Amino acid sequence: MRADYRVAIADLVLGLANWRIWGRLGWLEVKRRYRRTVLGPIWVTLTLAIFCFAMGLVYAELFHREIKTYLPFLTTGMVCWGLVSGITNEGCSTYASAENLIRQLKFPLVTLNCIVIWRNIIVLAHNMIIVIVILIFFPVPINLALLLFIPGVLIIAVNGLWATMVLGMVSVRFRDIPPLVSSLVTAALFITPIFWPPDELGASSKIITFNYFYHLTNLIRAPLLGETPALKSYLITIGGAVVGGIATIAIYARFRQRVAYWL
């Protein structure tokens, strides 16, 4: 099948422009998941808070760190990891979970990817309650670096867009991809400096330098801790967004019409 880049780009632009649609649907999806519960999505936040507190007490001793510095490090890391891993895992089911819509209606598939990203950003906003509480009890420097949190989220969203598009298409074609990705993301959690501080291995360690998940999470974790993300993290993630975006447009132009047949 011949790739039609002009139609693919137009489809991408139209999908992004429909922000009222994917914004509303993303919010409704969050509400639907917690229908008939008293706390709603706050349950996710409460569960994460309990996890961070319990792990913080143990791992602070394990790594010989003061709880007042380790708990903010762990909490911000887990909150940021929730955004990155959530987008990655849910990206695999982006198109498969909307099988009926794709088969019956004609609309930009990118709209579905935007819903996934927006839904996870909403969850991030809820989880920020934990960060605020922790930083009240264990203060960190509040400076202009905090403003870098916003561009960090935007860079993650752009990377998430092309990643969910690729994962969504590959997953409907090969149904073994979702469990594979889930397993890899779980493994990545333990080799990414989320539980353990980067200086345990050294900043030049290959596990850190070539860990794309680390650079993504660092974009929003560092500002929350009053630090400026490393220039290397910006170069790698922005470069990844550009290269990944170009490659994804080529893939999307060639295979987007096949998605409905693969479902």
> What total number of domains does the chain contain?
1
- pTM over the 0.75 mark: yes
Helices then strands, each counted (H, E), the chain: 12, 0
| pLDDT tens profile 108-117 | 899 999 999 9
Residue 162 CB burial class (10 angstroms; 0-12, 13-18, ≥19): buried
Residue 133: C-alpha distances to residues 53, 137, 145, 185, 212 (Å): 12, 7, 19, 28, 29
Q: Give the pLDDT confidence score for residue 148 in this predicted structure.
A: 93
Q: Give the pLDDT confidence score for residue 3 in this predicted structure.
A: 62
Range of the domain at 50: 5-262
State which residues of the chain have pLDDT below 70. Answer: 1-3, 34, 36-41, 202-204
> The tokens 């960190």 sit on which residue?
140
Task: Give phi and psi for 212, each to the nearest 5.
Answer: -65, -35
Residue 182: C-alpha distances to residues 31, 87, 91, 189 (Å): 24, 11, 11, 11
